[in-house]
Amino acid sequence: MKLQLPGQKNLSHIVEVMCTVFQVMGVILVGSLPWTLNNYLLFKNSYVSGNVYYSMLILLFLSGICAFCILGQSKKILRNINKKDPFTLDTANRIKYISYWCLPIAFAYLAAIYFIPSAFVLLVGLTFLFLSACIFIIARLFYQAVSYKQENDLTI
């Protein structure tokens, strides 16, 4: 049974294209991160010590890689939605992988508190930890939906 969402096809296609655009922009930004971060600090007239600078660089690089993977999984989920078959094991697995990709970001920011003492760093770390838990619960709901769908498909 295919899920029919009237008027939603265009939105999911637009978001899928946006995921691709954000991935390309992310690759460019992560690739130019040392120069971008340096120029940002110069623009703000901020000076940070070498340890803090390299901590920020590593933190942003790790976040960028994880975000790239999250966008890739999201794009594949949107592809399943565009095929009008979102309740599959593939979609549930991809949602679970997104929750797993949020964890390195959370732990990196929580560990970065020792190098970059800031409430913002703590807030981002806790937010991604909470987000990972919420997304994992949504993945479990999708597994349950797949189970119900398979049971329903077998019922005549």
Contact yes or no for 79/121 (Cβ under 8 A)? no
pLDDT tens digit sequence for 15-60: 999 999 999 999 999 999 999 988 888 888 888 888 888 888 999 9
Q: pTM for this structure?
A: 0.84
pLDDT one digit per residue (tens) for the chain, 156 residues? 454 555 455 788 899 999 999 999 999 999 999 999 888 888 888 888 888 888 889 999 999 999 999 999 999 999 998 888 889 999 999 999 999 999 999 999 999 999 888 899 999 999 999 999 999 999 999 999 999 988 888 876
CB 20 within 8 A of CB 75: yes
Identify residue 130 by its one-letter amino acid code: F
Helix (H, G, I), strand (E, B) or coil at 87: coil
Residue type present at position 79: R
Q: Rounded to the nearest 5 degrees, what angle is found at the Cα of 137, between the Cα atoms of 136 and 140?
A: 90
Concatenating the DSSP letter of every residue in 8-67 gives THHHHHHHHHHHHHHHHHHHHHHHTHHHHHHHHHHHTT----HHHHHHHHHHHHHHHHHH
